[in-house]
A and B are shown apart, each in its own frame.
Chain A
Amino acid sequence: MVLSANDKTNVKAIFGKIGGHAEEYGAETLERMFAAYPQTKTYFPHFDMAKGSAQIKGHGKKVAAALVEAVNHIDDIAGALSKLSDLHAQKLRVDPVNFKLLGHCFLVVVASHNPAALTPEVHASLDKFLCAVGNVLTAKYR
């Protein structure tokens, strides 16, 4: 699965629209993921899971920043996220299936806040991009 020139354009455009809301989207993505897929909470036993929790906000910010970084280096996502990839392989070891769940929830957040911008073509490109990010983060697992 390869990101076409069109995909890259679509992803940059939608992240442009998201703009400063990325951090907020990150937090909402996690909130949705924890609600819809309770098993994902097992990676955060130390978190306060209440709505508006500072930890969820903080972690959402980190997740969003990583996605933005990947968008800004969309021609070399592996390079841009290399350290994060190491971290996930050596320390965090989040099962690969969970990146799909996170990606799906991110799409839901984008859809609910920007329905007009998430055309089918943009949806396809963004889904591909999120898959690519998940692949990079799990690439060094074994």
Chain B
Amino acid sequence: MVHWSAEEKQLIASIWGKVSVEECGAEALARLLIVYPWTQRFFDNFGNLSSPTAIIGNPKVRAHGKKVLTSFGDAIKNLENLKATYSKLSELHCEKLHVDPENFRLLGDILIIVLAAHFGKDFTPACQATWQKLVGVVAHALAHKYH
């Protein structure tokens, strides 16, 4: 069981409260597909991913990014119980989607960079440290049911 201090919960809430799930989600997923192009392997049916411009403008990328970050929001609401919260999603990613859990770590780090770009100085080292812990724990929970 992961322990979250009051300060960590505050740092998470203060950032999350100001995040546009749609914008940040779309940007994070687009950057994942651009910076680590091999991640495109999971999105054959997304249409045009042939250039950064195409990826950024792709409506399926935007929609899926929003979906992913919305789910992240569920994690934040259930910090004390992440493994249970993500149990079914973990099974899905393993059994149906066949996603290497390394990709969760890559996306987590990209999200951190997107947050840094949005929040600038407010994304302090302490803030980053808390969010690195959060994305790590989310990635771990998502990988937990893999077999």
Interface of A, secondary structure class, is helix
A108-B31 in contact given A37-B132, A113-B120 (Cβ < 8 Å): no
* Chain A residues, Cβ within 8 Å of B114: 111
Is B24 at the interface (CB under 8 A from chain A)?
no
Is B118 at the interface (CB under 8 A from chain A)?
yes
Interface of B, secondary structure class, is helix
Is B30 at the interface (CB under 8 A from chain A)?
yes
Which residues A1-60 have CB closer than 8 A to chain B? 28, 31-32, 35-37
Is B99 at the interface (CB under 8 A from chain A)?
no
Binds A, one of B2-10, B122-130, B137-145: B122-130
The smallest beta-carbon distance between B78 and chain A, in angstroms, is 23
Q: Judging by beta carbons under 8 Å apart, are B125 and A32 in contact? A: yes
Write the A96-116 contact mask toward B (1 if CB under 8 angstroms, else 0).
000000001101110111010
Is A118 at the interface (CB under 8 A from chain B)?
yes
The chain B residue sitting closest to A30, CB to CB, is B125
Q: Judging by beta carbons under 8 Å apart, are A120 and B119 in contact? A: no
Among A108, A120, A121, point to the contact of B128 (Cβ < 8 A): A108
Is B52 at the interface (CB under 8 A from chain A)?
yes
B residues with a Cβ closer than 8 A to A are: 30-31, 34-35, 52, 55-56, 109, 112-114, 116-121, 123, 125-126, 128-129, 132
A residues with a Cβ closer than 8 A to B are: 28, 31-32, 35-37, 104-105, 107-109, 111-113, 115, 118-121, 123-124, 127
